[in-house]
Amino acid sequence: MDINEEELLEATNKKGFKKIFQFNSKQKIQLQGGYINPEDTINLEEGEVITASDGLKYHIFKPTIHDYIMYGIKRQTQIVYPKEAGYIILKLDIRNGKVVGEAGTGSGSLTLIFSELVSEKGRVITFEKNLDFLNNARKNIEKFSKLQNITFVNEDFINSNYENFFDSFFMDLKEPWFYFEKANKALKGGGNFGLIVPTTNQVNQSINELESNNFLVDEIVEIFHRKYKINPNRLRPEDIMIGHTGYLIFAKKIK
Amino acid sequence: MDINEEELLEATNKKGFKKIFQFNSKQKIQLQGGYINPEDTINLEEGEVITASDGLKYHIFKPTIHDYIMYGIKRQTQIVYPKEAGYIILKLDIRNGKVVGEAGTGSGSLTLIFSELVSEKGRVITFEKNLDFLNNARKNIEKFSKLQNITFVNEDFINSNYENFFDSFFMDLKEPWFYFEKANKALKGGGNFGLIVPTTNQVNQSINELESNNFLVDEIVEIFHRKYKINPNRLRPEDIMIGHTGYLIFAKKIK
Amino acid sequence: MDINEEELLEATNKKGFKKIFQFNSKQKIQLQGGYINPEDTINLEEGEVITASDGLKYHIFKPTIHDYIMYGIKRQTQIVYPKEAGYIILKLDIRNGKVVGEAGTGSGSLTLIFSELVSEKGRVITFEKNLDFLNNARKNIEKFSKLQNITFVNEDFINSNYENFFDSFFMDLKEPWFYFEKANKALKGGGNFGLIVPTTNQVNQSINELESNNFLVDEIVEIFHRKYKINPNRLRPEDIMIGHTGYLIFAKKIK
Amino acid sequence: MDINEEELLEATNKKGFKKIFQFNSKQKIQLQGGYINPEDTINLEEGEVITASDGLKYHIFKPTIHDYIMYGIKRQTQIVYPKEAGYIILKLDIRNGKVVGEAGTGSGSLTLIFSELVSEKGRVITFEKNLDFLNNARKNIEKFSKLQNITFVNEDFINSNYENFFDSFFMDLKEPWFYFEKANKALKGGGNFGLIVPTTNQVNQSINELESNNFLVDEIVEIFHRKYKINPNRLRPEDIMIGHTGYLIFAKKIK
C-alpha cells in the first residue's frame, strides 16, 4: 500500500467488527479474537485481506472520516455523531471557503469534519475552556488530517470578541443561552447558527432566548438512524436502536 | 448587500415560508400573500427585513446549500434529500480532494453537494443518460456554484470504462445491481460505494449482488427526521412526518 | 346475512377504501366512484362481494371496533386513536369486571372500547361537561354496542365526589393537573391512572403535579405506527406517517 | 389487603424497579438490594409502602395485566409484547363474547389477554404442539385469571378441523403461510386474521399467500414505543429504544 509512516489503517471483518490503528505501531493490533502485526500490511493494497493470528480474515482500508470518528478518536466527552453531523453540515452551509466557529471543541469530531469540508480556503475557530479536552481534540484531528485551517482557542467563548466574522457557528454547551448574544455578534448578518441540547426543557429555553437575541429560529429536529441486519434472506431491523442523542436547533442571525 | 447580478437570494418569514429568487430578476417575486421587487433588496444587508406588498415582513438571506436544494432547484426527478445526503457525505468520505462518481445525476442535488465538498482539488464525474435531466441538473448547479470540478457525462454508466479511478461512488438507479460490476471496477481498492433504493425487495437483491461482486456490505440504514413546531410554550412534534424515502446501503470494494 | 335492521355494515375494496353504513338506510351508499343500495346486501354472507354502480367490487363486513372508531363514529372532538387506545387498555388493566372512569368523554371512542372490554360485570362512568359532545358520544356508542354498563355524566369531573371507587381512570383534558386531586381521591388504592397531552410543557407540568398528588408516575411514552404499502413485490413503508398525536402518561395511586 | 392465599402482588419503587410475587410464598422476596417477607404485606392496603431489608421503600400493588405479562410470566418463547398486543386486540375485534383462535400458544401472554377480554361469554382456543410450552402457558395464565373460557389444544393447528367457527384468529408461527388455508376455513366469513413475522421476506411471502387463500389484506404495520425518562426538569427520551420486534399483518376472510 502507498502509505506513509503515520498513516491510519482500518481492519474490518464480515461481521462488521472494525479496528483503526497506525501503520507504524510497534505493537500487535488486537482484533476480535486474534491479532495482526501492522508491518504485515505493508505489501497489501487497500481492500485486500490479512489473516489474523486466530485465522479470521480482515480487510484493510484507510478509514473514512465516518469510521475514524466512530472508532478511531479518543473520546473525553460525549461526541456529536455522524447521524447528526451530516445534517448539521448542510443546514449550516459548511463547504468550500466558509469561516466556521464552534464552542466547545469537546473531542474534536465536528471540528475535524468542519475543517475537511471548508478546505484550504476556509477556516475553523474552535473554543474550549478545558485544556485537556482541547489537547485531546487536537491530537485526534492531527492524526487524520493535514489541513492547517483550524485555530484552537483555550478559552470560554464568552470571553471572545468576534464581530461579523463567522459564516456559521455551532454550539454544544450545557447552558447555551448564556452564549447567544456573543454568538449573534460574532456571526455575519444572515449567518447560520446551530446547537444541540439533550432535553426538551433546554429546547424551550433556547427558543425563547434565541428569539430575544436577534435570531430567526429555522428548525427544531431530531434525527434517527434505523439500521438493518445484513442478511438478505432474513432482512430485518436491528433489535435495539439509539432512541435519543439530542435535539438539533437551527437559527439565522437577523437584523 | 454585496452581491453580483446573478446572485441567489432567499426571503423567509417567521412562519417558516421560504422563497429563493435571483437578484437580477425583472419580475416581482410572489411570496405567501404579497410580492417584493428584487431591486428593493439592493441596499439591504443579509438578515435585514423587507416588507412585502401585503405588509408581511421577510428577512433576506443568501440561501444555504440545504435551502437551495429544498426550495431552489428545479426538480425533474425524485431527489436525494439533505436528511439522507448529510449521512452519505460522511459514509462515502466526501471531502477535500476526493474523486467521486455518481449515477444517475437526476436533478443534480447530490452532484452539487459533492462538488462543494471535494473543492478545487477534488473532482466529480456524474453519469446521466437522459439529456433533459442532465441539462436541468447542470443549470441547477451553475446557479449556485462557481466550482469547475464537475464532469457531466450524458451516457448510461454501464457504457463507461473507468478502472481504479474513484475514491467513492453513489448510485441512484432503478435496477442498480446491473451496474455493480462496473462500479466495482471503477472504484479504487477500498473505495466507498453507496446506493439508495425504495423497497425491501431491492435491498434484498442489492445485498446479494454486492456480495457476489467483490463488495463488503457495511451498512443498511433508514434515516428519519422528526421536526418540532417552533413554539416554546407548546413544544410538540409536527403532526405529519416523512415516513419513507429510501433505504441507504453502503459497501466497500474488496479484493 | 343474519342481521337486524339497525346493524352496521362496512364496504371495503382492494385499495383499502372503507365505508361504514347502516343496513336499514333508505339512501344509496356513496362509495369511491359509484354507490350501492343497502338492501342489496340482504342476501350476502359476510365477506361476500357486492358490485357498485360503477362496476367496482366491494366486500361486505360487520365492522370491527377498530374500523368503527376510525371510519364510523361522528367526531366532534379530536379522538384517542386505536394506536394509543390499545396500549391504554393494557396499561390501565381494562378488562372483565373492572370499574373505569373517564374525563372527558369527547366523541366516545375510548368510552366504547372501555365498555366492551369490562363487559356486563364491569362499569364505565364518563364525565363530559359539554352536552352536545355527550349526546354525540352516546349516539356513537349506541349504534355499535348493546351493553348497558356506561353512565354518562354531564358534568365537569371537578364537581364529582367519588371516593375509592374506580379501578382505573383515563383523562383527556386541556389542563389535566387541576383534576389530579379529584382523580386520586376517586381511585381505589393502587388504582391505575392514565392521561394524554399533546405538548412537552404539559408533560412537565403533569409529572410535577402527579408527584405532589400521591401518584407514582409509571411511564411516559409515545406510540408510532409505521404502515407499509400492500405490495409484496415492492414492499415499502407509506411515504407519510403520523408524526405526533400525544404523550401518554401512566401513574398509580399510592398511599 | 383483601387478598386470598394465591394472590399475586407487585412491589415497585420510585426508580421503576418492579417485582411480582405470590402472597403465600414461604420465601423472602429478593428485590433490588434487599428483600421483603410476603407475610409483611398482610396488613397493607394497595398502594401502601413497605420498607425492604436495605431500607429502600416499595409500594405494593396487585399487578395489572400489562405488568404481569412484562414481569410476571415465565417465558419459554419470545412473547408478543403489550405494545403489539394492544393494537392486535382492536384490529382483531377481541371483545365481549367473541370466539378467538390462536396458534401457537407460546408462553400464553396473548392467550391470557384474549381470555380476559372476551369474558365469560367468549371463548379462546389455542393450539400449541410443544407440550412443555403449553403446560407453561397454562400455569402462567392460571396464576393470574379465574376465567374458564380457554381450551388448550396440544396439537399442530395444521391437524385441526374447524370450519366457520372463529370470529378472529391470531398466528405466531415460523412459516405461517402453510397454515393460511386452515385458518381461512376455520374463520367465519368476514373473520379477522392477524399474524406477526420478524423479517421483510416473511412479509412478502405472507402477503402473496394470503391473497391466494381468500384473504383481503388490510394492513401491514410496525409499532414503536418511545419512552421518556421520568424527570420533569430534564425531560428527554430514553437513550435506547426497541428497534424491532416484528411486522404485524392483518387480513379478513372473503368469499
Contact A47 B221 (CB under 8 A): no
How high is the ipTM of this complex? 0.96
Which tens digit of pLDDT belongs to each residue from D123-176? Answer: 999 999 999 999 999 999 999 999 999 999 999 999 999 999 999 999 999 999
- Residue B38 pLDDT level (bands cut at 50, 70, 90): confident
Strand (E) or helix (H) holding A117: helix A109-118
Q: Smallest Cβ distance to D201: which of A227, A234, A245? A: A234
Averaged pLDDT, A93-116: 97
Residue appearing with cell numbers 408510532: C224
**Distance in Å, alpha carbon of B197 to nearest chain C alpha carbon:** 10
User: Rounded to an integer, what distance in angstroms lies between the CA atom of residue A111 and that of residue A68?
Assistant: 13
Q: Give whole-number Cα distances, D240 to A243, A244, B122, D229, in Å.
A: 5, 7, 39, 11
**Distance in Å, alpha carbon of C84 to nearest chain B alpha carbon:** 15
User: Rounded to an integer, what distance in angstroms lies between the CA atom of residue B174 and that of residue B198?
Assistant: 9
Q: Which of A91, A184, A254 is most worth mutating to test chain B (most B CB atoms within 10 A of its CB)? A: A254
Flag whether pLDDT at D1 surpasses 90.
Answer: no
Q: Specify the pLDDT at position C23.
A: 85
User: Rounded to an integer, what distance in angstroms lies between the CA atom of residue C25 and that of residue C46?
Assistant: 18
What sign does the dihedral B236-B241-B247-B250 (CA atoms) show?
negative
For the segment(s) A67-253, the CATH number from 3.30.1370.30, 3.40.50.150, 3.30.300.30, 3.40.50.720 is 3.40.50.150
Domain with CATH 3.10.330.20 in chain B: 8-63
Q: Calculate the average pLDDT of chain A.
A: 95
> What is the residue type of C179?
Y
User: Rounded to an integer, what distance in angstroms lies between the CA atom of residue A135 and that of residue B237?
Assistant: 39
Q: Which residue has the higher pLDDT, B27 or A235?
A: A235
CB B235 within 8 A of CB A200: yes
Q: Calculate the average pLDDT of chain B.
A: 95
Mean pLDDT in consecutive groups of 10 residues from the start of chain C, 255 residues: 78 94 88 91 91 96 96 94 96 97 97 97 98 98 96 98 98 98 98 98 98 97 97 96 96 96
- Residue B2 pLDDT level (bands cut at 50, 70, 90): low
| Fold category of B8-63 in CATH | Vcp-like ATPase; Chain A, domain 2 (3.10.330)
- Residue D110 pLDDT level (bands cut at 50, 70, 90): very high
Would you give the end-to-end CA distance of chain D in angstroms?
54
Contact B242 C241 (CB under 8 A): yes
Q: Has C189 been labeled as part of a binding site?
A: no
Enter the C-alpha cell of residue C188: 381505589
Counting residues of chain A whose pLDDT is more than 70, the rounded percentage is 98
B244 chain-C contacts, CB cut-off 8 A? 236-239, 241
Enter the C-alpha cell of residue C35: 354507490
Chains that touch D (3 or more CB pairs under 8 A): A, B, C
CATH entry 3.40.50.10890 includes domain B69-253:
no
Averaged pLDDT, A26-32: 91
Q: Specify the pLDDT at position A1.
A: 63
Q: Where are the beta strands (DSSP E) in C79-177?
A: 99-103, 123-127, 150-153, 166-171
CB pairs under 8 A between A and B: 208
Q: Specify the pLDDT at position D3.
A: 64
Q: Specify the pLDDT at position A2.
A: 63
Q: Has B172 been labeled as part of a binding site?
A: yes
Chains that touch C (3 or more CB pairs under 8 A): A, B, D
Q: Specify the pLDDT at position A110.
A: 98
Enter the C-alpha cell of residue C215: 401518584
Domain with CATH 3.40.50.150 in chain A: 67-253
Domain with CATH 3.40.50.150 in chain B: 69-253
The CA-CA-CA angle for residues A77, A80, A86, to 5°, reads: 160
Contact B204 A46 (CB under 8 A): no
Flag whether pLDDT at B32 surpasses 80.
Answer: yes
Upper half-sphere CA count for residue D225 (Cβ side, 13 Å): 20
